[in-house]
Structure 1
């Protein structure tokens, strides 16, 4: 019996050593906080990958069949689609047409072709400018239905709500991010998905909702990947890091601290556009002139001056504001200032991460280990 127990113990030890040999060294003897952050960033990476896939799939293909969360039979024909997006697309298409007209004019003319019975008019395929215009119009049209298609609105709300844990991570010193920066960034996004979007159908049917989600997804994918590599001791690369993995870590580090120059303005700009969607539409000139009819009769002027029309337009527009619009007014001024603060913080972080010195990844493949020694 003693020999059998001893044999079983040796077998168990051998099995554990075999399993232990396949466990990466970075996963051994770590704190509970590290294991938690590994799990959190892995989950965050998977969720934002899922959301990005949903949005890109929606922009590339036709909407899915109706579901419990998406009862609309054809979201592409939603009557609430933002008309301003079509106007902007038309203006862009006209501009492109004017630029490309010297190249495409010979192909766009109707040619007179003789036939047995007389003159036959032969038309040609659409010009490149017309094709670009049509493609942009279709893309913006689909982007305007992002919220209502494939339960993307619900998925974005739930996935972003998970970020409420990040200020707690900073407060508990699990991460090095300042609590104020983490809280401000999370609060701004939660305001967008929980209030500004949910309280405005115009925001839900805006193409800026799609651009916002794509910018958020790209930023979160880079951030989660970078943090996960840091927890696995891949960033910064060490002297024993395989060269291919070290180059990958260098690329991720560079993108993490460079892509924000594009992603943050796109994301914040889209957020700002969604905030503005909560305001009533600006009154037309005809509506303003009708409201000024009594004023014109009093002063005896049939055609009021331009400054008076502009002032009356603003006055009429403000009178149409409800409580929701007034609640948005502070954020109209806070949002640009917040973007400036966040960009300044990330710029300093970029200098710290990509500058010269020990433990930094130098763009261009000049990788250094934690001791500052240049890799061969």
Structure 2
């Protein structure tokens, strides 16, 4: 009975305070990523580069990890090169101005897996692992290792989709846990914009990874390395992975906003959760 009452009343004060701080910090970090990205669209640039930011920390990273993160030779394929050429006039390259903020903010999300494992939040473990691990692979295993992705406009669409998803999500959780009330419009944004942002984000993720796979036409796939085949496999499962996340969010939307005709912007939700 006591454990049931404890679960019903939510996390303890120390845990609640920690989660509020975590979500508020994450929301602020992703908002800063949006600011840096939009600054590039306005023709401005960040005053610090990713290399200058991370250089002092390099001595603390194990040698094996440093070797793994050594930039790889430029390798891409005709499809990715053509796609980047077509999109570049509309989306500028933003790596130099955003990565120094994106990397730590996204890496901080790894704590969300621990939050689920230790029962601090009620999010399902599979969807949390899929979302967090796929992004960490993109940030550290792909973008940081392959220099030609730094000039890709698909990198820009990817991080914009991420940031525009995460600012409302973390802000929603922070306000819910603080008990100060969540505006109806924020709840609606949190549980509605995924219809557009998830496909854009997941599609951009797959295309960024695809751009690091060498040309495959004309039998050139025969000389692919094991890593190339692994990346091709990951690209292939991006669609079912997106459906897992999509289905989860549709269930959450029905739970929070209600089913049927949906929820008008600014209306009071039928049910609110403090944390997934």
TM-score, scaled relative to structure 2: 0.76
Report deviation, 1:205: 2.2
| Corresponding residue of 1:279 | 213
Distance 1:318 1:210, change over 3 A: same
Partner of 2:33: 51
Among 85, 109, 114, the alignment partner of 1:168 is: 114
1:81-118 deviation digits (Å, cap 9, x = unpaired) = 985256425xxxxxxxxxxxxxxxxxxxxxxxxxxxxx
Q: Which residue of 1 aligns with 2:249?
A: 346
Q: 2:100 aligns with which of 154, 163, 167?
A: 154
Q: 1:113-132 counterparts in 2 under 5 A?
A: none
Following superposition, the deviation at residue 183 of structure 1 comes to 1.6
Matched, 1:269 2:203: yes
Could you say which residue in structure 1 is the equivalent of 2:258? 355
Matched residues in 2 for 1:66 and 1:328: separation? 31
Shift in CA distance, 35/61, structure 1 to aligned 2, threshold 3 Å? same
**CA shift at 1:232, angstroms?**
2.2
- Map of 1:84 onto structure 2: 82
In 2, the alpha carbon distance for the partners of 1:67 and 1:257 equals 34
Shift of 1:333: 1.9
> Any stretches of 5+ residues in structure 2 without a counterpart?
1-10, 54-73, 272-276
TM-score (norm 1): 0.57
Equivalent of 1:217, from 163, 166, 180?
163
**1:318 corresponds to:** 221
CA distance in 1, matches of 2:204, 2:24: 27
Change (3 A) 1:32 1:278: same
Structure of greater Rg: 1
Shift of 1:344: 0.5
Counterpart of 1:367 in 2: which secondary structure?
A: coil
- The offset of 1:200, in angstroms, is 2.0
Supply the distance in 2 between the matched residues of 1:198 and 1:84 (Cα, whole angstroms): 22
Aligned length: 237
Counterpart pick for 1:230 among 165, 176, 188: 176
* Equivalent-residue separation in structure 2 for 1:48 and 1:254 (angstroms): 19
Q: Where in structure 1 are there 5+ consecutive unaligned residues?
A: 1-28, 72-78, 90-135, 237-248, 284-312, 371-376
Whole-Å separation in 2 of the counterparts to 1:329 and 1:356: 38
Question: Take 1:333 and 1:368, find their aligned partners in 2: how far apart are those partners?
Answer: 37
Partner of 2:133: 187
Are residue 259 (structure 1) and residue 193 (structure 2) matched?
yes
In structure 2, the partner of 1:367 is 268
Distance of 1:182 and 1:365 partners within structure 2 = 28
